[in-house]
Structure 1
Amino acid sequence: MEIQWLGHSAFEIISDKGLKFLIDPFISNNPSTNIAVEEIDVDYILLTHGHSDHFGDTLEIANRTGATTIAIHELALFVSQQGFNTISMNIGGSISVSGVKITMLEAIHSSSIDFIEEPISGGSAASFLIETEDGTKIFHAGDTGLFSDMETVIGALYKPDIALIPIGGKFTMGPFEGALATMWISPKKVIPMHYNTFPVIEQDTNIFSNFVKQFNPNIDVIVLNSGETFKY
């Protein structure tokens, strides 16, 4: 299984059987990635919420590749109204696509489709737990603040192997809160995200790493440069 960080909160996950998932495809207007949107070929697009820096190039990628978009009901409805294939979910629900289980979980954040002339509701912000064919569990936290269910539900019940955690501050958790969330979730590996895309969310990943090591030295912090791939 491979996880490639495309900058900001965008990740491509390739399962052991070659199924490709793209989460929050903010590519063409993303100053932290050098990957061209035309290079991307995926099977499924997962959206955590409707903000433009997460919805990104969903429609262009879906149009070119035929990918199915998976999102909360209101956001899936918007994409389907543009003429594209969608799978609608809601928080607490699970689906299976080609042997990969996807569970939609909570995130504490706002959500609107804010890139159209008259913004509309994008439903609730969400996070995703992706369980690949071999049972590996990847948790993408989306944009979120700290909340106690990270420990009592996500960590205790779902037990992710790998967590993708925002640390940028201002719009999400910062390094300290992200490290505390990591301790609560207790994955084997954690990859920080949603930082350094813009000046307002500039962060030093060493601060995050040091907090994680203080809280739980058994958790490996994997800091990727945009475009780099982590193989698990």
Structure 2
Amino acid sequence: MEIVYYGHSCFQIKNKKINIVMDPYDHPDLKLKLPDLKADVVTVSHAHRDHNAVHKIQDNPRVLDWPGEYEVNEVSFTGISSFHDNENGATRGENVIFIIKTNGTTVCHLGDLGCKLTEAQIDQLGQIDVLLIPMGGKVSLDAKLAKEVVEQIEPRVVIPMHYKLPDTISELAPVDDFLKVMNLASQNLDSLNLEKISVPEDKTEIVVLKPQIS
């Protein structure tokens, strides 16, 4: 199974059984063009245009945008309720964290999480292999708070998202802010093959994925 990054908070996770797109965007302020993508399933963390552009995805995918447990093509999905801010949703509303389990690997997309996790949420997450985490600040976790959340979850691989990309107009912080705060081993890849993860369970490594956009 392969993870591909398309900028902002949008990822594609795919194998022979299923094609998943997470948090597709369609917002002029991003100055990013989402490629033509097809999917069996689209997950949406919250109803903002830079995260819920389901209309951009082809093949009439099933949309998961609410907490709960789902199964599609022998892949399990769990949506966990959380908040887009640190005020119990009073400023920016709710956010859904999605967990995807397939072939013995667990991937967690935190959406636009804006606060640390509760003990109950940590218990719901369980053991996470690959964590997709926002770190650009302003409307969600900044680098310092993202580090604290990583320490709560203790994943094997951390992939940062929701940060300023070159040649884009954005008030988000660049990914380097997160790398400096984390001070962990990191590598840059075009995509991540989940079957080839070699990080020990008691270690954490950062992978920065190159956005596959024109």
What's the CA shift for 1:145? 1.6
The equivalent residue for 1:71 is 65
- TM-score, normalization: structure 2? 0.77
1:6 matched to 2:6? The reply is yes
Does the aligned pair in 2 maintain the 1:166–1:173 contact within 8 Å?
yes
TM-align CA RMSD: 2.5
Change (3 A) 1:200 1:157: closer
AA aligned to 1:148 is: L
AA aligned to 1:141 is: L
- TM-score, normalization: structure 1? 0.72
Distance 1:157 1:109 in 2: 17
- Residues paired across the two proteins, number: 186
What's the CA shift for 1:157? 5.1
1:166 matched to 2:134? The reply is yes
* Runs of 4+ deviating beyond 6 Å: none
Distance 1:28 1:177 in 2: 26
Greater share of residues in helix? 1
Distance 1:4 1:209 in 2: 20
Unaligned 5+ segments in structure 2 are 86-91, 185-201
Unaligned 5+ segments in structure 1 are 73-89, 111-121
The equivalent residue for 1:131 is 101
1:219 matched to 2:204? The reply is yes
What's the CA shift for 1:165? 0.4
The equivalent residue for 1:143 is 112
AA aligned to 1:220 is: E
Matches within 5 A, 1:51-200: 51-56=48-53, 58-61=54-57, 64-72=58-66, 90=67, 93-109=68-84, 124-132=94-102, 134-149=103-118, 153-154=121-122, 158-196=126-164, 198-200=169-171
Greater share of residues in strand? 2
Does the aligned pair in 2 maintain the 1:8–1:194 contact within 8 Å?
yes
Post-superposition Cα deviations, 1:81-124, rounded to whole Å, max 9, x if no partner, equal xxxxxxxxx2xx211111111000133217xxxxxxxxxxx983
AA aligned to 1:192 is: P
Post-superposition Cα deviations, 1:54-80, rounded to whole Å, max 9, x if no partner, equal 112x1242xx412111112xxxxxxxx
AA aligned to 2:52 is: F
The equivalent residue for 1:81 is none
Distance 1:125 1:157 in 2: 15
